[in-house]
Amino acid sequence: MGTLSTLFSPPPTATSTQIISPQTLSFSFPKSANNNTPTTTNHHHRSRRIQSYKFEIMADSIEEAPRRRTTTTGWAARDSSGVLSPYTYTLRKTGTEDVLIKVLFCGVCHTDLFNVKNHFGITRYPAVPGFVVKIPEGMVLEQAAPLLCAGVTVYSPLSHFGLNKSGVRGGILGLGGVGHMGVKIAKAMGHHVTVISSSDKKKVEAMEHLGADEYLVSSDATRVQEAADSLDYILDTVPAFHPLEPYLSLLGFGGKLILIGASNAPLQFVSPMLLLGRRSIIGSFIGSMKEAEEMLEFCKEKGLSSMIEVIKMDYINTAFQRLENNDVKYRFVVDVAGSELQHQ
């Protein structure tokens, strides 16, 4: 397992193609990172600067890279249809500070879907960022993959805004891949957790399987009114248009509506909903390397795992379709190493 942290450089030889889950990747890292002190690269900021998407990659070996070009195969989207198919390309000639890694598992999330389809209009081909973190001894690798997306996406804002403490009252809006980890992590932090959903379909799941304390149907005006001013934060995982006012009204003084689901549909609010109560709307995107490692330790210590469905690479297009239909509990993980990708 690797102990360094960095962002992958885009493979310069692949062009105009969105690449998902290549089996091998080369990337640069600073020499100082090649020890047990991970570089705390700020993933938020770097991601924005290079306008890239993210996915999770696990490395099983870090070796000094050969000073030659390496041919590898990944599955790539060729256009905004988002359909993936095998794609062979040549990595750049690696230098003295490069390593080659082999990808074992890769989580799949909505951000990948948006990016292969270029929903944000910012997909730059090729763009294959990712990161490698130290996986705690004893953690199952396919479990770690979605934690590095959904887990850290939840953990980062709760940690950063001082909410990692017991007694906090939290809301989880949307019970999907991120939402289900939201309930688990918030409960493990000792929060009183209310799951907020558009229907009561997920009530049993939320209360009995995930351990939520309350379940609120957002269209139930009476109960929403009763719950006014009661929450310290809401993790809003919805990656689509939704009105913000009903959720802002649930927040107490200083309450935070934390947006972690990206959407290019404009969201609206009226300013008095924020002014009267010093409420805020905050965006948070995944998390830093430091937070990712803290989160993995936290999950290991608390015995938390994500609920996943492991698939082979040739199922990816079906998986994307099911993801779009919210038909997954709760995360697909691609068994990249077990998919026997061949050079095509």
List residues binding its own copies (CB under 8 A): 42, 44-45, 47-48, 120, 157, 160, 253, 259-285
Nearer to its own copies, 80 or 321 (CB): 80
Smallest distance, its own copies to C-beta of residue 77, A: 20
Alpha carbon distances (Å) from 142 to 108, 118, 225, 306, 311: 12, 27, 41, 10, 11
Smallest distance, its own copies to C-beta of residue 225, A: 15
DSSP character for 120?
T
110 Cβ contact partners less than 8 Å away, ≥ 6 residues apart: 176, 177, 239, 261, 262, 323
Q: Are 153 and 287 in contact (CB under 8 A)?
A: yes
Q: Which helix (H) or strand (E) holds 26?
A: strand 24-28
Smallest distance, its own copies to C-beta of residue 338, A: 33
> How far apart are the C-alpha atoms of 127 and 147, rounded to whole Å?
22
Nearer to its own copies, 220 or 226 (CB): 226
Nearer to its own copies, 258 or 299 (CB): 258
Nearer to its own copies, 115 or 143 (CB): 115
Nearer to its own copies, 95 or 254 (CB): 254
Tell me if residue 94 falls in helix, strand or coil: coil
Six token digits for residue 147 = 């934690």
> How far apart are the C-alpha atoms of 202 and 40, rounded to whole Å?
37
Nearer to its own copies, 223 or 278 (CB): 278
Smallest distance, its own copies to C-beta of residue 96, A: 31
Smallest distance, its own copies to C-beta of residue 223, A: 21
Nearer to its own copies, 161 or 315 (CB): 161
DSSP string for residues in 182-237: HHHHHHHTT-EEEEEESSSTTHHIIIIIS--SEEEETT-HHHHHHTTT-EEEEEE-
> How far apart are the C-alpha atoms of 332 and 310, rounded to whole Å?
6
Six token digits for residue 9 = 């450089």
Smallest distance, its own copies to C-beta of residue 173, A: 13
Compute the CA torsion angle 256, 258, 263, 265 (nearest 10 deg): 0
Q: Are 19 and 96 in contact (CB under 8 A)?
A: no
Smallest distance, its own copies to C-beta of residue 144, A: 23
Smallest distance, its own copies to C-beta of residue 129, A: 13
Nearer to its own copies, 282 or 337 (CB): 282
> How far apart are the C-alpha atoms of 97 and 103, rounded to whole Å?
19
Nearer to its own copies, 5 or 47 (CB): 47
Tell me if residue 247 falls in helix, strand or coil: helix
Tell me if residue 278 falls in helix, strand or coil: coil
Smallest distance, its own copies to C-beta of residue 252, A: 9
